[in-house]
Amino acid sequence: MKILIRNWILYLLSICGCVLFCMNYTAWFSTFLLLLVMILPLFSLILMLPPLFCIRIKLVAPTEIVRGEYGIMYIHVEGKHCPYGLPIRVTVAQKNLASEKDTENRITNTILPYPVKERCLQPPFWYLLKLTGTAAVPLSTEHTAVIRGRLISFCMYDFLGLFLLPLPRVSRKQCTETVVCPIPRKPDKILRTWDQVQSVPVPTQRFSEQYEIRQYRPGDTMRAVHWKLSAKTDDLLVREAMDAADRSVMITLERDPHPDIADSIHDTLAWYLQTLLSHSTIRCVTVVWLTAKGDLRTETVRVPHDAVGLYRRLFSEGIRQNHPGASFDSVYKTADIGFHIDKESYTSDQRKY
């Protein structure tokens, strides 16, 4: 807005100068100069129409990034079949969803797209002019969070800088979502809430130290024959490899609105997921937490890549403060192994898992 006011003041001063020149010098070109200066805004608006309807804007941001890494959200400006470009003012908003109060920062950038030649693949293989321009907006990756970016406004200046018109072919519904993932760090104290593992042997086709003895059946490999026991019993016996049944793990999570404490809790959660999912006997890990409204939320992680979806949902939910540990009583004993994570997990004595 300050640029428009400055340009209008300069334009009005130029008209006043032309009027004074016309009053003191009555030749024909003084009147022509005054009329030319007065109709310049109209010509500027007419020349503004081609790029106004050709320009499109696209937001691009990484879907996930590790906390502390440098992340950028790009604003791409593109347009085809236009030989010149005009300055474009774009305002984007970044909203942090993991803090106690959602904060939104607005960033305004001025982009001047420049024309480049693009070879057309269709006959007669002409070179088409294409406008392109890019602006970079840094992401705030200091704390674990979900950062949502969206377009607020997108306008184009004319040649004289007197008018600022919105781009009609750009959608306001564009948005990006970046998950700032935690860094896995082993806690000082590991709280195992319960452990009710019952190792039930199940048959397997791979080698195992656990096995059962049964009679030989047609098709069994001779490598599985237990020769010593077969000689004693005078019967052909084989080893059938057995594995312990897969186990499920549940993690109850207490959260804290303070960013530093929340980062430590999330780092501990990431270490739990990384460690537990590396065990071949762990079937899945279920994470339970409370929202700001007091509702229980659960998310099941079966492979490491599922953790990103867990973080996206976890960081998007509000934080309930001062919730009692008894809130998780309804979900206890529903898994084979249970762990509990709170802000005391990384400040107490050290124990090994």
Q: How far apart are CA 328 and CA 314, in angstroms?
A: 16
d(CA 10, CA 21): 16
Global confidence as pTM = 0.72
CA distance 233 to 244: 28
Q: Is the dihedral angle over the CA atoms 264, 270, 276, 279 positive or is it negative?
A: negative
Provide Rg for the chain, Cα atoms.
34
- Report whether CATH 2.60.40 matches the domain 53-181: yes
Measuring CA to CA, which residue among 58, 110, 104, 120 is closest to residue 86? Answer: 110
C-alpha atoms less than 13 angstroms from C-alpha of 339 in its C-beta half-sphere: 21
Whether the CB-CB separation of 309 and 246 falls below 8 Å is answered with no
Question: Whose structure tokens read 């081609």?
Answer: 50
**DSSP E strands, the chain:** 55-60, 64-66, 72-80, 88-96, 103-111, 114-119, 127-138, 145-157, 164-166, 175-181, 191-195, 201-203, 210-215, 237-244, 247-253, 282-290, 296-301, 337-341
CA quadruple 134, 137, 139, 140: dihedral, nearest 10: 170
Digitized pLDDT (tens) for each residue of the chain, 353 residues in all = 788 899 999 999 999 998 888 888 777 788 888 899 999 999 999 999 888 888 899 999 999 999 999 999 999 998 887 888 889 999 999 988 865 556 778 888 989 888 887 665 555 545 667 888 999 999 988 989 899 999 999 999 999 989 999 998 888 888 999 999 999 988 877 666 655 544 444 454 544 455 678 888 777 778 788 888 888 888 888 877 655 556 778 888 888 878 888 888 899 899 989 888 887 778 788 888 888 777 788 888 988 888 999 999 888 876 666 565 566 666 766 677 888 887 776 543 333 33
